[in-house]
Structure 1
Amino acid sequence: MNEIKSTCAPAVSVKPNNGTDWQQTLKRHGEGIAAVVCGVLTFGAWMTQSSGTVWSFVLYVLAYFIGGYAKAKEGLVTLFKERELDVNLLMLLAAIGAASIGYWFEGAILIFIFSLSGALESYTLSRSYRDIESLMDLRPETALRYKDGVETRIKIEELSVGDLIIVKPGERIPADGTIREGVSSVNQASITGESIPVEKEKDDTVFAGTLNGEGSLLIEVGSESESSLFSKIIQLVQDAQSEMPPSQQFIERFEGLYAKTVVGITLLLMLIPHYALGWTWSETLYRAMVFLVVASPCALVASIMPAMLSAISNSARRGVLFKGGAHLENLAGVRAIAFDKTGTLTMGRPQVTDIVPLQDYSEEELLWITGSIESLSEHPIGRAITEKAQNTGRQLARPQNLQAVTGFGVVAEFEGQTWKVGKEAFVDMASENKELFGLLSRLEAEGKTVIFAQNDRGIAGLLAVQDTLRAEAKETVAQLRELGITVVMLTGDKRSTAEAMAAEAGVDEVYAELLPQQKVESVKALKEKYGKVAMIGDGVNDAPALATASVGIAMGNAGSDVALDTADLVLMNDDLTKIPVAIRLGKKAGRIIKQNIAFSLGIIILLILSNFAQSLTLPLGVIGHEGSTILVILNGLRLLKSS
């Protein structure tokens, strides 16, 4: 189980809810409870201190133990296992040192505020986990296994090579395999990038994650599933919590050296001022303890991760799931974004774009006839024609004797005539003129799929269908360009189709007719030209480019498993407008982190100088140092509500 470890707060791990409610509540809020109890005990000890009873001493010891236990444990583990000093040990040494020279109250206050700031940071970590977890409607992936004449619904992890599974119309195919019975159209856009579903029949290969169309299929499993959707989401959560951005990694490395330096200087301050400056031993030890408190880098260490995780949590609630803070940091610096076309900038499903009537039909009448005939069809192209016809408001009629010819089209009796609606190869084109062939060539050159309608008299007309831009595509591209980001399209489609879509969306540059490896080369060229480059895609063919980009972005709903695994962040709702929102959030997180670092360093320097000027008391040092830690954490928490 992966964990994220902060030096100012204990580790928070992703674990299942196995205990009772009160146990889980205690585990979740244990640090906060310990901090509050420490504060109450400290107040009680201070109130009884003047009475001279032993109760004051007992309450102080309890406050030290309850408030400092978690920090002492973490600090000692770091010391003995990693052979490193951290701020936890520095704070505890300072508190013990304060008590040793009679400043029990100041030491207790130090532990109280330190434990409170740690609880606040832990709240940030656990809040990030809960927000990401609550995003998902977690459903286990299952398959309908057919064995010995019995259908059994099982988890996909239980499937074995050679098992037979039934995939009903509209279901997602759960495993790679070969069709043994049935005929259907399968939407393979997530795998191949094709926007038009492919007709599949016996002995054809199908892939996990593709969407079955109108037919029922019996599939022989060809490979075992290594992970379920549920486990992948949990893994994404763990990755998001465990991966630190480069800036935090630097702070972590810096902290070890800094802590050793502080301890070394403190030891010198316990001796040198007494001999060199004539201070009393009491004053010398006191100033050394104040230095140990105020020079600790706790606020500096807490400057990054709370802010970063708050931003990740915020973006997760908006449907953008980062796999780690490093990717948020990188996204804020991108200068170009490359979009795949099919299923990313476009919807990935066909719509009627052209209606060309022949003979004596009008556009509306030809659409009504073909829509009525296709109303009994479950093919995606047929549904697109029917939906277009229904939008006219005219009641569709019912065809007679409809017969679907797999891979070609449909035949039906309609209003006394025999009609064929389907591909060019399905109709009789021998006697048609050159004008029709020219029209066909033009539409196909535009990347459109042409459907013919033929009656007893010949070709009655044709309709063209094409994938269309997502509703938010234009707005997203415009917002990205406002942010100074160059928008690029990478696609395997024909150049004419790609350029038409790019012009409609407002894309700056177009790279068309690319194979997966050529997409990788294009991303590399863009990185040389612009620096940091993001790539967004949805299919297996996009995965190499996603891995090559500075930041890989996958479409969560439409995306293939490989794309989701390869990407650095996932658009869970496939909403492209969330990309500029995430970029702005990343930039704001960067600004807040810089503010926190500058503020924490400034406070440390101010407190150290005040201590050497003998104008800083231990209580003020505690409040100044731990107060700055709390302030930088609260500043980072602003990103939870940032718009």
Structure 2
Amino acid sequence: MGKITSVNTLSPDITCSDCSGSAVPASDPDDDSDSDAQHEGYRWRISGMDCPACARKIETAVGQLSAVTEGRVLFATQKLIVKASEDVRVQVEDAVRYAGFSLTRSGTPIKQIEPAGFWWENRTLILFALLLLASWLIQSVSAQAGQVAFTLTTLFGLWPTGRRAFRLIKSGSPFAIETLMTLAASGALLIGATAEAATVLILYMLGERLEAFAAGRARRGVNALMALQPDTAVRLQGERRETVAVSSLNPGDIIEVAPGARLPADAKLLDTFASFDESALTGESMPVERQQGEPVSAGCLSIDRPVRLTVTSKPGESAIDRILHLIEQAEERRAPIARFLDRFSRIYTPAIMALALLVALLPPLLLSADWQPWIYKGLALLLIGCPCALVISTPAAITSALAAATRRGALIKGGAALERLSAIRTIAFDKTGTLTAGKPVVTTLIALNEEDVNLLLAKAAAVETGSSHPLARAIVARAAELKLNVPRASGQKTLIGTGIEAIVSGHTLLIIAPGRLTPNRLTEQQSAQVFKLESAGNTVVVMLEDNQPIGLIALRDTLREDAKATVDELRAMNIHSMMLTGDNARAAAAIAGELNIDYRAGMLPADKVAVIAELSHQPLAMVGDGINDAPAMKAATIGIAMGSGSDVALEAADAALTHNRLNGIAAMIRLSRATHANIRQNITIALGLKGIFLLTTLLGFTGLWLAVLADSGATALVTANALRLLRKN
């Protein structure tokens, strides 16, 4: 069941492809004073769509309104966008409500809506399961009473499904999955297969709830992305500070961001220097230093001190909004995912129903045959046409495969993702946090004055103790790992934009980036050592004692232990691997060289999407862990997230490695290929048996009880075949 939680009008200068919720001010839905220009387009935020088929139902229902010129549902960001020649908000909401989706104009942000509890969300399924269990128990005591119990149980399940099917028929979707299930269960009831009718309904309801769960997870991922942008900002008016809504910020406004807070908008730095954690947007684990006048994106985290900035982005056009827009564009470039049964029912169900009706009517009417035998044959054909085995064949295989994948630490979000995995021929990896561990470690220490390297590290740890900088933590962690005796430091102070300084054992120690040293401060040999370390993909800092260089410390984000084995395994499966990263070319080349794969460096989220589009001539998977990877995941044939990644990456992806091990990728692909073959086998079994019994029934060789066997027997066979996937390694 869907739910529309807010409605906005689109101003005429904003196209319908825009996706930022804050770009368009909320309007009063009951205000009829809107101008004609405002009637050009409207936007709703939808929650609760179970699958892309729901999106198609909403589009069909809205498209039947005469004043609507275009209605589109953006499934990735749960939005409905409608263009119309007049104000159609009331008509659109009525049409969507009648199609089976509840809606409200509250305008409450999704992230503030309390989710319904497990029992409440699944109350119908739980009650139906209890009734089904009671019916089985009654039947074990009395067959006649059991028949009545199963009938009542089926009618209980048919009521919501049949009512929605009826409404969808009137809304322009006559052969939706609800219609298919209503016909299947009703047909089974007509010939007395009441237990089978109830079983089909509970399998259908279970599948719907699983899809609703996956959709809910995806909504939380988009909300997590939106949450990177704070709701309020501190705006400076001379010496006065005021807290304002982010939507009220305009280019030119001066804002202040506290340490540990995120930027509410794209801005330029006013202070001389400042450090920012941009990992949420770029995936780069190392904090970056920005100088006065340099741009900083919304969502970045201020690290070491309060900073003042000038806003450069308009409301709804920040880096966060642009990523949301990229996700929507990537979703639109792919054809909507239609479930197999929903597509097949458009031909199969009406054809079988029409054939059953013709068999029951034509011989008595045209040939004066007896009515009872031909009605009997029509009912037998109706049962043969009951798609129970087909309904079960695909979900049974998918459920078994998903269960097998989950036990092995892989979460695959639905059958469509599982099927697409089987076709993958190229895999693009993000670097930081995916191919690498995502945490810098000390790799090399070089003493420039012949001092013991352990003493050098102990001094560095003394200076860095207490700092929250990732490089500082890496140095302190390495000293602790070696159980070094770290001396006490005093007078610690951070030199903004330069380094960190402290007094240790009476000497002034400074740890600084090589690029911040005055020219010719290092000898040619020392500069060559720095260049060599950086060329190997390291971040290098220099330690000075009393203004004299005494050591070099190299830190690096190390390769995952299973990265090389995973790439080799994929290569053996004829799957090509490449790396897309926002890191500099030298760091990227070092990692790619170890893995013997292609790479592209210095990539922003839009650049990654462009590369995916460039390679879209073949099925491609994108593997990542950061928010910056989400648009590329959506643009790819399938997105795979690392279990340690951001919430947005996990929810935007079609699959996730919950155990956070890369070797799960090859296992997922092998499982998906086996599942694809299993589904083809199940469909062949189901349709093959139906075809045989269809012919024998028309010829008079088989009767109603064998028609039941055609369906229940096929159901048992395809279920047993699907269960084999549980044993796949």
Question: Which category describes the TM-score, using the shorter chain as reference length?
Answer: 0.7 to 0.9
Report 1 or 2 for greater relative contact order, CA contacts < 8 Å, sequence distance ≥ 6.
1
More displaced 10-residue stretch of structure 1: 211-220 or 596-605:
211-220
Q: 1:192 is matched with which residue: 247, 269, 282?
A: 282
Give the conservation status (yes or no) of the 8 Å contact 1:41–1:60: no
Work out which of the residue numbers 92, 107, 115 in structure 1 matches 2:198. 115
Deviation per residue, 1:56-92 (Å, 9 max, x gap): 9x98985775465455435544544437364445446
The reply on whether 1:29 has 2:29 as its aligned counterpart is no
How far is 1:510 from its partner?
A: 3.3
Cα 1:75/1:447, change in 2 over 3 Å = closer
* Aligned partner (choices 607, 618, 622) of residue 704 of structure 2: 618
* Alignment-mate amino acid for residue 29 of structure 1: I
Q: Which amino acid in the other structure matches residue 466 of structure 1?
A: R
How far does residue 359 in structure 1 lie from its aligned partner after superposition? 1.5
Matches within 5 A, 1:128-527: 129-130=212-213, 167-169=258-260, 185-200=275-290, 206-215=296-305, 245-246=337-338, 248-249=339-340, 251-271=341-361, 280-305=370-395, 307-308=397-398, 325-427=415-517, 430=520, 432-456=522-546, 458-504=548-594, 506-512=595-601, 519=608, 522-523=611-612, 526-527=615-616
SS of 1:412's equivalent? strand
Cα pair 2:100 2:164 within 8 Å, conserved: no
CA distance in 2, matches of 1:301, 1:600: 10
1:210-236 deviation digits (Å, cap 9, x = unpaired): 34434456778867689999xx9xx99
Q: Distance in 1 between matches of 2:680 and 2:491?
A: 72
3-state SS of the aligned residue for 1:304? helix
In structure 1, the partner of 2:690 is 604
Aligned partners of 2:217 and 2:651 also within 8 Å: no
Q: Aligned AA for 1:28?
A: L
Q: How far apart are 1:357 and its partner, in Å?
A: 0.5
Q: Go from structure 1 to structure 2 and tell me whether the alpha carbon gap of 1:279 and 1:546 turns closer, same or farther (over 3 Å shift).
A: same
Percent identity for Structure 1 against Structure 2:
29
Q: Look up the match of 1:552.
A: 639
Task: Name the counterpart of 2:665.
Answer: 579
Change (3 A) 1:268 1:489: same
2: CA distance between counterparts of 1:41 and 1:67? 18
Does the 8 Å contact 1:179/1:220 carry over to 2?
A: yes
How far, CA to CA, are the matches of 1:287 and 1:499 in structure 2?
71
Distance of 1:512 and 1:93 partners within structure 2: 59
Residue-by-residue CA offset, 1:583-627 (whole Å, 9 max, x unaligned): 234234323322321121122123223423534332442354145
The one of 670, 673, 677 aligned to 1:591: 677
Q: Deviations over 1:412-450 (max 9, x none)?
A: 222222222212255466365322222122222223222
> Against the structure 1 CA distance between its residues 431 and 470, is the aligned structure 2 distance closer, same or farther, given a 3 Å change threshold?
closer
CA, structure 1 residues 199+474, in 2 after alignment: closer, same or farther (shift >3 Å)? Answer: same
Partners of 1:484 and 1:622 in 2: CA distance:
45
**2:612–2:636 CA contact under 8 A, matched in 1:** yes
Alpha-carbon spacing, 1:621–1:252, altered in 2? closer, same or farther (3 Å): same
Letter in 1 for 2:474: A
For 1:48 and 1:417, how far apart are their aligned partners in 2? Answer: 93
Letter in 1 for 2:381: F
Look up the SS of the partner of 2:393 in the other structure. Answer: coil
- What displacement does 1:147 show? 9.1
Could you say which residue in structure 2 is the equivalent of 1:102? none
CA RMSD of aligned residues (A): 4.9
For 1:511 and 1:628, how far apart are their aligned partners in 2?
A: 51
Displacement after TM superposition at 1:261 (Å) = 2.1
**What is the distance in 2 between the residues matched to 1:443 and 1:12?**
62
Gaps of 5+ in 2: 3-48, 55-98, 104-112
Are the aligned partners of 1:38 and 1:64 in contact in 2 as well (CA < 8 Å)? Answer: no
8 Å contact from structure 1 (residues 12, 125) kept in 2:
no
Residue 101 of structure 1 corresponds to none
1:434-480 CA distances to partner (integer Å, 9 max, x unpaired)?
A: 22222122222223222111223722121122222234433433443
d(CA) in 2 for partners of 1:19, 1:358 = 63
1:126 has 2:209 as partner: yes
Gaps of 5+ in 1: 50-55, 99-105
Aligned partner of residue 597 in structure 1, secondary structure? helix
- Contact kept, 8 Å, 2:534 with 2:540, in 1: the verdict is yes
The residue matched to 2:428 in structure 1 has which SS? strand
Alpha-carbon shift at residue 376 of structure 1 (Å): 3.7
Take 1:479 and 1:82, find their aligned partners in 2: how far apart are those partners?
49
Letter matched to residue 209 of structure 2: S
CA contact (8 A) 2:132 2:150 kept: no
Aligned to 1:535: 622
SS at match of 1:333: coil
Report the CA distance between 1:410 and its aligned residue: 2.0
Report the more deviating stretch, 547-556 or 630-639. Answer: 630-639
Q: State the partner residue of 1:103.
A: none
Seen in structure 2, the aligned counterparts of structure 1 residues 122 and 642 have a Cα distance that, compared at 3 Å, is: farther
Deviations 1:265-320 (A, max 9, x none): 22332245569999643222211211111123342244334544665677678776
Instruction: Determine if contact 1:12/1:122 at 8 Å carries over to the other structure.
Output: no
Amino acid at match of 2:300: T
Q: Is this contact kept in 2: 1:352–1:384, CA < 8 A?
A: yes
The 2-side partners of 1:36 and 1:163 are apart by 66
TM-score by length of 1: 0.76
Cα distance 1:165–1:578, how it changes in 2: closer, same or farther (>3 A)? Answer: farther
| Greater displacement, 401-410 / 217-226 | 217-226
SS of structure 2 residue aligned to 1:270: helix
